[in-house]
Amino acid sequence: MRAFYITTPIYYVNDVPHLGHAYTTVAADALARYHRARGHATWFLTGTDEHGQNIEDVARARGKTPKQHADEVVVRFMDTWKRLDVSNDDFIRTTDERHIKVVHETWKRMEAAGDIYLGSYEGLYCKRCEAFYTEGQLEEGRRCPVHQAEATVVKEPSYFFRMSKYQDRLLEYYEKNPQVVLPEMRRNEIVSFIRSGLRDLSISRTSFKWGIPVPGDEKHVIYVWVDALTNYISALGGEGSEKYKTFWPSAVHLIGKDILRFHAVYWPAMLMSCGLPLPKHVLAHGWWTVRGQKISKSLPATRVDPNRLAEDIGPDSLRYFLLREVPLGLDGDFSYEALIGRHNSDLANDLGNLLHRTLAMTEKYVGGVVPRVTPALDETEPHKTIAGLAIRARDEAERHFEALAPSRALEAIWEFIRGANRYVDAAAPWTLAKDPARRSELDHVVHTFLEAGLWAAWLAAPVIPRKAREILGQLGLADAPIRWPTAWNQELSPGSRIQRGAPLFPRIDEAKQAELLSRWIPPEAQAAPPSVGAAALSQPESVAGSGTITYEEFARLDLRTAVVKHAEHIPKADKLLKLQLDMGGETRQVVAGIAEAYKPEDLLGRQVIFLANLKPAVIRGIESQGMILAAGDKQVLALSALDRDVPAGTKVR
């Protein structure tokens, strides 16, 4: 049987769960649920990272021992995952005996391979990252680029891991296995990091106690990352256990891009040293900001509490939003308004409405009982179209879940759900119901609605498990398993009775929205700036007041000419257009805030100036891969243009 092993990072217990942690965990959960529905042997691991100087400091500040502190915080993580319907099979804590044992074994194996030696270390250490930095990697005031925490000089005896020895083997491995580190952009980053030279890694500390002692030299505790990374194997029971044999070869580490280096360089080097195989994939997802700001302890407005959202709007709406809004891999910006928008449009309108209509018509026209199908009708319109959409959605969803792309899977599933709503209109049961001679056609149509509801529930269940169960209940299948659909119009049993219940996703109207926003957004943050707006994406930021830049800084902008090949409005976004640009063979998609100044048809064939190396962003669920230049400050007045045509893709300097 095929196996699937998925892990999240183990979270530090110096913080309580926030939106970022929820994102990784929910994404891993959806992938695990998909594989279970397919009948694969699945193992889903999450947990907590409880050692290290930072945790020791935080506990001391609270007047607790580190273990007491960890015991308290770990409950917050476990509770949050329960509330979000996270279906982890195991929860590992680095203070578990089973973990400590495997960390010791790992150390000894690396030692036996001749890869550990005693030396002394002096360097700049960031406690928040639990990592050393070079002066050049730190920002002003010796602050770390991830947390802006000040790094301190650390000098002490230390054991080292011979990471340099693995530089060539790692490069060769990634060359031969280009699919291990995903997405591709991250693999390139890692390959150039390795190419720039790997230094031996300091892997023990003597200046604090809260950690796993080095075997045979108890003055030292093991570096927290060596300890933490080993969780992926210790939780399986270590090499040699049955669980390890079944699951390790299929391991997928889902992580945030902040900790890619640890997972794609340190961990593989450690595994090579131990003579163990590398994970199948390391997928680094992007970073969520909240209304344009980095999630940070010091900014209350960014402390989005997933528990609160799950309670107020339902875990499924939050899960759906997180996985649908941004493709795994890209950065995204969270706003409460966008969350409510998705709830209303995709869940209340599309899916909720489909079920509501379906069940109402089943009661009205066929007495609330699943009617028979006439298979031959599936070969005629409009039944043929919906059958085709169902099969396509299933196959596409399968392909995208397999490729670790839940947002794409959801897109495909929602194509089908919208198609099913159109089918209800095209099949017009209200007309068929007037003519007793057309009873079998009516039966077929009602059956098809119900089947569509069942397929929607099964396909979307990895992401919205609670509502999928509710749908099954309302279809009269409360005890049916969640599985993957196989044969169209053959999954329901005629004769069973439906159980119509409460609306699945009650619409959030304006009054309710205002109430929720005032509850969710802390008062001091109510006037916070909105998330990245359309204008910011279509216009260069004013440099006035920001001083001068050097030519080298300017030269980093990859400005090119591009030709507009396609332009269209974005539904419910008055200011935005979606453009496809030809950059001389390469097509780029851009979301531009120019809809108030230009009609889509006026743009076709126009040459524009395009900033090609702007970091991609997701706006209204659409990836924008650059920015076109325009004049105007708040409002776009005119697009950039050249006074004669040049080939698309020409450099602008």
Point out which span in 15-23, 384-392, 395-403, 644-652 binds ligand MSP (CB under 6 A).
15-23
Q: From the list 58, 151, 214, 228, which residue makes contact with ligand MSP (rule: CB under 6 A)?
A: 228
Least Å distance between CB 182 and ligand MSP? 14
Q: From the list 288, 321, 414, 458, which residue makes contact with ligand MSP (rule: CB under 6 A)?
A: 288
Across 206-247, where does the E strand assignment appear?
A: 213-214, 217-222
Can you name the residues that pair with 561 across neighbouring β-strands? Answer: 609
Point out which span in 18-26, 133-141, 467-475, 598-606 binds ligand MSP (CB under 6 A).
18-26
Q: What are phi and psi of 464, to 5 degrees?
A: -120, 65
Q: From the list 5, 9, 202, 639, which residue makes contact with ligand MSP (rule: CB under 6 A)?
A: 9
Torsion (CA) 374, 375, 378, 379 in degrees, nearest 10: -120
Rounded to whole angstroms, how far apart are CA atoms 376 and 444? 10
126 noted as active-site residue = yes
By beta-carbon proximity to ligand MSP, the closer residue of 327 and 485 is: 327
* Pairing verdict, β 630-631 and 288-290: unpaired
Please name the amino acid found at residue 105: E
Binding mask 239-258 for ligand MSP (x = CB under 6 A): ----------------xx-x
Q: What are phi and psi of 12, to 5 degrees?
A: -65, 140
Least Å distance between CB 322 and ligand MSP? 9
Q: Annotated catalytic residue: which of 35, 51, 104, 126? A: 126
Please name the amino acid found at residue 393: A
User: Measured between alpha carbons, how far is residue 587 from residues 411, 578, 625, 629 in Å?
Assistant: 21, 13, 10, 17
Rg (CA), the chain: 27
User: Measured between alpha carbons, how far is residue 198 from residues 162, 170, 195, 260, 653 in Å?
Assistant: 9, 10, 8, 15, 36
Q: From the list 4, 5, 12, 107, which residue makes contact with ligand MSP (rule: CB under 6 A)?
A: 12
User: Measured between alpha carbons, how far is residue 484 from residues 36, 316, 437, 481 in Å?
Assistant: 9, 19, 36, 9
Q: Annotated catalytic residue: which of 155, 219, 297, 599? A: 297
Point out which span in 19-27, 417-425, 560-568, 624-632 binds ligand MSP (CB under 6 A).
19-27
- What distance lies between CA 587 and its chain's CA centroid? 25
Kindly report the length of the chain.
653
Least Å distance between CB 371 and ligand MSP? 47
User: What angle (nearest 5°) sits at the alpha carbon of residue 631, between those of residues 630 and 634?
Assistant: 100
274 noted as active-site residue = no
147 noted as active-site residue = yes
Can you name the residues that pair with 42 across neighbouring β-strands? Answer: 4
By beta-carbon proximity to ligand MSP, the closer residue of 278 and 295 is: 295
Contact 612, 599 (CB under 8 A): no
285 noted as active-site residue = no
Q: Annotated catalytic residue: which of 69, 99, 104, 144? A: 144
Point out which span in 108-116, 228-236, 341-349, 492-500 binds ligand MSP (CB under 6 A).
228-236
Rounded to whole angstroms, how far apart are CA atoms 47 and 81? 10
Point out which span in 4-12, 37-45, 99-107, 393-401 binds ligand MSP (CB under 6 A).
4-12
Starting at the edge strand found earlier in the chain, the sheet holding 293-294 runs 293-294, 288-290, 332-334
Note whether 21 binds ligand MSP by CB under 6 A.
yes
Q: How many residues bind ligand MSP (CB under 6 A)?
A: 19
By beta-carbon proximity to ligand MSP, the closer residue of 173 and 287 is: 287
By beta-carbon proximity to ligand MSP, the closer residue of 339 and 366 is: 339
Q: Give the residue ranges of DSSP H helices in 326-438.
A: 336-342, 353-366, 383-402, 406-427, 429-432
1: exposed, middle or buried (Cβ count in 10 Å: 0-12, 13-18, 19+): exposed
User: What angle (nearest 5°) sits at the alpha carbon of residue 63, between those of residues 59 and 64?
Assistant: 55
Least Å distance between CB 152 and ligand MSP? 19
Rounded to whole angstroms, how far apart are CA atoms 464 and 505? 11
By beta-carbon proximity to ligand MSP, the closer residue of 261 and 566 is: 261
Least Å distance between CB 302 and ligand MSP? 8
Q: Annotated catalytic residue: which of 64, 101, 108, 147? A: 147
Rounded to whole angstroms, how far apart are CA atoms 32 and 262? 23
Q: Annotated catalytic residue: which of 40, 165, 280, 294? A: 294
Tokens of 639: 């697009």
Least Å distance between CB 231 and ligand MSP? 6
Least Å distance between CB 217 and ligand MSP? 24
Rounded to whole angstroms, how far apart are CA atoms 203 and 117? 10
Least Å distance between CB 148 and ligand MSP? 14
* Residues 6+ positions from 143 with CB-CB distance below 8 Å: 149, 150, 151
Can you name the residues that pair with 133 across neighbouring β-strands? Answer: 124
By CB under 6 A, what part of segment 268-287 binds ligand MSP?
287
By beta-carbon proximity to ligand MSP, the closer residue of 16 and 557 is: 16
Note whether 5 binds ligand MSP by CB under 6 A.
no
164: exposed, middle or buried (Cβ count in 10 Å: 0-12, 13-18, 19+): middle
129 noted as active-site residue = yes
Least Å distance between CB 24 and ligand MSP? 4
Point out which span in 6-14, 103-111, 610-618, 637-645 binds ligand MSP (CB under 6 A).
6-14
21 noted as active-site residue = yes
By CB under 6 A, what part of segment 35-74 binds ligand MSP?
49
By beta-carbon proximity to ligand MSP, the closer residue of 231 and 489 is: 231
Point out which span in 9-17, 321-329, 455-463, 614-622 binds ligand MSP (CB under 6 A).
9-17
By CB under 6 A, what part of segment 23-42 binds ligand MSP?
23-24
Please name the amino acid found at residue 595: A
294 noted as active-site residue = yes
By beta-carbon proximity to ligand MSP, the closer residue of 94 and 204 is: 94
444 noted as active-site residue = no
By beta-carbon proximity to ligand MSP, the closer residue of 150 and 258 is: 258
Least Å distance between CB 406 and ligand MSP? 15
Note whether 453 binds ligand MSP by CB under 6 A.
no
Residue nearest to ligand MSP (CB): 20
Contacts with ligand MSP, residue ranges (CB under 6 A): 9-12, 20-21, 23-24, 49, 228-229, 231, 255-256, 258-259, 287-288, 295
Write out the catalytic residue numbers.
Answer: 18, 21, 126, 129, 144, 147, 294, 297
